Structure formats: structure tokens, C-alpha cells
Structure 1
Amino acid sequence: MWDKRPDTIVHEESPFNAEPARSALCGRDVTPVDTFYSRNHGPIPEITKDDWQLRITGLVTTPLALSFAELTGRFDTHAVIATLQCAGNRRTGFNQVRDIPGEDPWGPGATSTAEWRGARLRDVLQAAGVQDDPSLHVAFGAPDVSDLATPVQPYGGSIPLPKAMSEEVLLAWGMNCEPLPRVHGGPVRVVVPGFIGARSVKWITSITVQPEPSDNFFQSRAYRILPADADPDTAKPGDGISLSSVALNCDVLAPEDGATVPAGPMTLHGYALAGDDRTVERVDVSFDGGSTWTQAALEPTHSKWGWQLWSFALCAAPGPLHVTVRAWDSTGSTQPESAATLWNPKGYANNSWATANFDVT
């Protein structure tokens, strides 16, 4: 489906929600399009380049209406290698603590990296005469209608103006040197590196500069961390903590969790990701549940907005092998130990220590 790899893990066909197997992500600085995870909230719209139009309104001096040809021809093209991560990434770890009904059981594969090409959002906002006020917000609107929302409505979201004016935020029409595929938001989507994937709105058709965050369901009620005892069905707009920057996270990609591996030399591979403009500085590996730790080797990085790949070589003895990993970022912060202390009723932002188990024979 949607030209994805045969080993893609499809959580839902409609809306289409799928992630790659761990091993499919392993060792790749940039994720192939057929491997990149897909998160949707409704039917995938079909919009041609000729039909697409973007309107920029709100607190601007010169509202704009741009065709695809005007966007791509009027503004300079920029590229950024950036990782997107779903806020529900690693939700399966929460399900082991307490079930989260109605939410897809994402593993660690709701994370992928691409080279995105497009116009800087900053350049478009400046052309529209955006006000220089850091308290403002930039709201994005799209045509994909979701019946998951109450009431049913098109998808939307917003980011603070200072983030919108950052050089890494793009209105992207290219992915991995190809036209942006429809399933990933083509012809044009927003790419907001360092923020949860939900803010990188696909199929964008409107931008509004406004005093407050978007009142769209997916900004005001979804993608918020509620208290563990809250009922998400009765939560009011603004309840909980609105998600923006990605939480520091990591996981093991290969070998696959639960695999049987031969005794002797083996190498663990994985990824780590620090949100917004933070960087991963260290990844630790433990074989005794976190009593002692050894540093993994960090691979060279190609972008401050991309994930950090890591590896760890060991000689595995026959028997069960239990692996625990954690990352540290450039602020000196590390991941919390237990998913139980982070559990929330929507299952967002599980960045507890990651584990993998192997049977060594």
C-alpha cells in the first residue's frame, strides 16, 4: 500500500498509519521514501500542483495567495536533512504499563529522516509582511478532514512565530531529491525540524499569523499530555501540556528485538534523537538493567536536525541477552528510567530507557 516496503507494519489502512520494521531503518542516515513512516488522521487528499494554492493571512501587511509555480519560482530553494518523529512513537512501551485504547500501538519506527527541499517559511512570511512580535503564532490549515476530531474538521496546528522564523523550517515540495509524494504531504507540506511530527502539517493550504495558538482540535485538544487520571474524551481545549519539541529519545534497531542470534561477535545498532536545537552527546548501553553502563560509538552526523546513529560491538555468550539504552543531550539531560512514571492516557512522548531482548545460541 502506498508503495511501502513489504515488511512495513501497517497499524491502520484508513487512515493510513504505518511504520517500518526496526531493521529497515538501521544504518541509514536518510530514510528511503518507501520506508518512511506515515501518520494520518483522515483520508489522504489528492491535490495536483496546478490546483494547489497557499493563502497567507492574519497579522500581515500584505496577504498572499501563492500557486505552486509562484512558491517554487519566487522563493529560493533550501534543503535540510531532518528527522520527523510521531508523538506516539514507542507507545507500545506504555501499553505494557496500562492499555491505551483507541490509539495505534506505535513501536520505535514512527521516526524517519529525509532530505527536505523547499522555501523557508521565514521568507514567505517576510514577503507577506509579518509582524515582528515573538508572542504571535503561525497556524497551518490543511484539507484532510478527520472524523477523529470533535467536531469533525480538517487537520491543523500551529507553532510559535520565533520557531516559524527559524531558518530550518520549510514549506517543502521535495523529499530525498524527488517531488514530495502525495502520501507524505505533496505537493507541499510544512517541515518543522525538532518539533513533533504533528506540527509538520501536510498538504498545507493556509497560513494564518495570529495572537493565540491554533484552536484546531489537533492543537487545542489532541497532542497534549494529560494527567494520568484524566479522561481524554472529556478533556477541554487547553487542558494538559501542549507538545512542541521532541523529547530526547533512543532505541535499538538491529538486531530486531526478540531475535535469536548466534553466540560470538555481534554489533548493536540504533538511533537517538534530541528535540529542537539540542544534540545527542552520548548513548549508554547496559546489560544488567541499568546498574552499569558503557558508552556506544556515535556515527558521524550530517545535520543538526537529523538523528544520531550509534553502534555497540560485543561478544555475546549463549543465553538470554537483555539490553538497555539511554541517551544524553547537549544540555546534560538524559532519559527517565521507567515508562510507568510517564504514562498518560493518549500515550504520547514515551522517552523512557529503551530495551531489547535476544536469545543467544
Structure 2
Amino acid sequence: MKTETTLERGPNDPGLANPSRRSILIGSAGAMAAVSLLGFSRLSAAEEPKSLPDYAVWKERSALIIHSTNTMETQRGAIGNGVITASDRLFVRNNLPAPPASVTDNPDAWEVRVEGVKNPRTLTVGELKSMGVTTVASVLQCSGNGRAFFPHGASGTQWSVGAAGCVMWTGVPLRDVVDALGGAVDGVRYITGTGGESLPDGVDPKSIMVERSIPTRALDSALLAWAMNDEPLPHTHGGPLRLVVPGYYGVNNVKYVKQIALTENQTDAKIQASGYRVRDVGMKGSPDQPSMWEMNVKSWVTSPLESGRKGRNMIYGVAFGGTVALDKVEVSTDGGKNWKPARFLGPDLGPFAWRPFVMAVDFGPGEHRIVSKATDVEGNSQPEGRIDNERGYGHNGWSDHGVTVTVG
């Protein structure tokens, strides 16, 4: 039984082996310039707009921190203590400009090509709906959630804890689609999803496109989703169709998915070959480094955040195990010196969903450092510290994620 999650390389692939663990950095100057022209500008605190961009205008502005025009974080205090994250509070992270919003006008007409099966073909969403259906609760989390805590100043959006939410996804199990098309061809090891974002002219598509490969071990849990939280999948979050891989980091949940291919090798697209790779600070990305695939066990406190009252208080938070169910959550009010068990709150929606938790505590006057530590059913527990890496990925250390509460 392991007591601390570490980043280690698996024997058969360069993914993060737990066997469960781990978005695009656009590396070339030309690609970055092209993206900048399409509206991907970083915003300073003074520049943060009071209103939302058109593609996300339906979101609850007061619940979000706008880091850029395409990166919006849920405020820690807006996460709440429910199992499901409200769609209008869910964080937004886009690697590329979305296709026209009109693609959701007739969602059943959207087409996805399926390759690497014995009978490859193009299917519409309408056809997919006749092949099977399931609903799965799953945490959606950006690979860089927690990046703001890295002391070396990892580049990218400075997410704290709000680049995550728990969502109900409805769609067809990918396994059902593969089986209906005669099964996989021999020798496949990866599921490769290609997004349907609009690509700028004059740029090598492989340098900028969203195309991700994940191990075929995810085939039994992956789905092609057309609904989110019991409503049609919104354009903002990948509608009309998104590849959803429960327990995997958000970049693998390809939006506007236009092709699914079962492949022998990983794609050579930059987002896969060198992007979303875990490496030492100062190193460049390469295919032999661990990839951000399965998520690790994690938790954080959502309330109280700054101040409490003398006497009885309720500490709330959320916890999840990635692809593994949770066993327990412990909470400390003295920075990790002493721990007490918390109680799970609300229904258990399965191993991929998060579990809100609560613990009652009596506070005296002064400062109280509140931290939480989750452990999954396999014995993986959050470490105290972070595993420093160039891009600030996969941070689940309990110390950084705590809050200091003052009681007068």
C-alpha cells in the first residue's frame, strides 16, 4: 500500500503510472503569434473585464476569475459543497478558438470519423444516440490546476484550485461504438481524439491542433458526450460532441471531437509529443517524459476561507481520487500537526466524481491553518509538498492548498 503519490514512469508507456495519473503549450513563435491574433491574450488584474466574452456570456460572472479571454477559473468560494458543479460556474480552458457557435444549432448533424476499427465509418451524433447511452459523473480538471503555488513561476495560467469541477456527462460509451464497428484492429495501444477547432492559415497544423492520445485502458470508461448536466453540451465546453475520459486530465477530454482513431502509436501533434509532459524545471518537453493522463488523488477546503467565528464552525471541501474511488479525507486545523477524519457529504456518484466533505470544529481566537488530505481505496494519499516540474502540472500537495482562517 502506498502512502504518498509520486510521479513515476510505467513499464510500457511514458504516461504517469499509478497506473493512474495526468495542456497545450504552443511552443513555436509563429504558432503563438497566430494564436495571439485570434484573441488569446493574457489579462492583468487591472484589465480583467466586468463582462464576459460572447462565447461565455451565459456564465455567472461573479463566480469566475478571468485570467485571459479563454481561461476562466471558478472562485474557491463559489465551488460550494454540492456534488455537481453548476454549468454556469464551471471553469473554462480553451487551447484554440472554438469552431463557429452555429455548430450547435443542429447538434445531431455533427459528424465524427471512427478509425482503427474493422469497419471504419463516419457517424453523426444522431446515429451515435441510437448506439447506446450512459451518464457518468466525473471531475473535469485542468492539468495545471494548482500551478499558482509553484515557486519557480511556471508559465501558463496561474490557476489556484478553481480549474476543476464535477460534471454529469451523458453520451454513448466509446466501447459500444467500437464494438458496433466490428471491434478494434490488431495492434492498437492508444485512443487518439482530434478536435474540430478552427486552425489559422499559414501554420503547421501539427504544431497547434488539439489531438491527444491516451492508453486503450481508458476504452471501458470513455464516452462520446452530447450532454452536460442534463442539458445539450454547450458550445463553450465542446458541444455538440466531446470525448470524455473519466479520471483523466481535461486536455484529454477533446472538445468538438471530429475523429476518434484507435492507433498503434501516439500522435505526433505537438500538444502530445512535447506538450503536457512532466519534466524537471528548465527541461524541454519530449515524448519519453510522463504524459498528463490519469489524475492523482486531491482535495482542498472551500469554506471557511479567511475568517471564522469563535466556537462552532463547519469546514467544507471537495476531494477526488481520479480513476480510483476515495477511502477517506482528513482535516487539520493546525497546519498538519494533528488530523481528524471528515465526513463525506451527499451521495456517492461513483469513482470518478468528487466527494464533498465536512468536519465540525471549535475555534478559539487567533489564526488557524486548515489543510485537508485525501486517501483513495488503493492507499494513495496526498503528499505534503509539491513535485516541482517545469509546467506546474499535477500539483496535489496538501500544504499549498490550505487556507489560513482568522478568528477574532
Q: Shared fold (TM-score greater than 0.5)?
A: yes
Q: Structure 1 segments of 4 or more deviating over 3 A?
A: 132-135, 145-152
Which of 376, 392, 399 is 1:347 aligned to? 392
Structure ranking higher in strand proportion = 1
Instruction: Determine the C-alpha separation between the residues in 1 that align with 2:334 and 2:282.
Output: 33
Q: Secondary structure at the match of 1:183?
A: helix
The residue that corresponds to 1:84 in the other structure is 140
Structure ranking higher in helix proportion = 2
Contact 1:173–1:180, Cα closer than 8 Å, also in 2: yes
The residue that corresponds to 2:325 in the other structure is 279
TM alignment of 1:215-294, pairs within 5 A: 215-230=268-283, 232=284, 235-236=285-286, 238-256=287-305, 259-276=306-323, 278-294=324-340
TM alignment of 1:156-235, pairs within 5 A: 156-164=211-219, 166=220, 168-230=221-283, 232=284, 235=285
User: CA offset at residue 229 of structure 1?
Assistant: 3.8
Q: Does 1:52 align with 2:110?
A: yes
Q: Does 1:34 align with 2:91?
A: no
Question: Partner amino acid for 1:56?
Answer: V
User: CA offset at residue 287 of structure 1?
Assistant: 2.5
Question: Partner amino acid for 2:336?
Answer: G
Q: Once the two structures are superposed, what CA deviation does each residue of 1:84-129 show, in whole Å capped at 9, x if it has no partner?
A: 11111111111xx22113x001111111111111111111111222
* CA separation of 1:149 and 1:245: change in aligned 2, threshold 3 A: farther
Instruction: Determine the C-alpha separation between the residues in 2 that align with 1:87 and 1:146.
Output: 23
Q: Once the two structures are superposed, what CA deviation does each residue of 1:284-308 show, in whole Å capped at 9, x if it has no partner?
A: 1122322221111122412222001
Q: Secondary structure at the match of 1:122?
A: helix
Identity %: 30
User: CA offset at residue 338 of structure 1?
Assistant: 1.1
Query: Is there any run of 5+ residues in structure 2 with no aligned partner, and where?
Result: 1-51
How many residue pairs match? The answer is: 343
Question: Partner amino acid for 1:71?
Answer: L
Query: Is there any run of 5+ residues in structure 1 with no aligned partner, and where?
Result: none
User: CA offset at residue 261 of structure 1?
Assistant: 2.5
Which of 55, 61, 79 is 1:25 aligned to? 79
Alpha-carbon RMSD: 2.0
TM alignment of 1:8-157, pairs within 5 A: 8-13=64-69, 16-46=70-100, 47-48=103-104, 49=107, 52-57=110-115, 59-72=116-129, 74-94=130-150, 97-101=151-155, 103-131=156-184, 136-145=189-198, 152-157=207-212
Q: Does 1:323 align with 2:367?
A: no
Q: Once the two structures are superposed, what CA deviation does each residue of 1:199-226 show, in whole Å capped at 9, x if it has no partner?
A: 1111000111110122222222111101
Question: Partner amino acid for 1:88?
Answer: G
* CA separation of 1:247 and 1:129: change in aligned 2, threshold 3 A: same
* CA separation of 1:279 and 1:54: change in aligned 2, threshold 3 A: same
Instruction: Determine the C-alpha separation between the residues in 2 that align with 1:298 and 1:320.
Output: 26
Instruction: Determine the C-alpha separation between the residues in 1 that align with 2:94 and 2:154.
Output: 18
The TM-score with structure 1 as length reference comes to 0.90
Q: Relative contact order: is structure 1 or structure 2 higher (C-alpha 8 Å, sep ≥ 6)?
A: 2
* CA separation of 1:287 and 1:142: change in aligned 2, threshold 3 A: same
Instruction: Determine the C-alpha separation between the residues in 2 that align with 1:286 and 1:88.
Output: 25
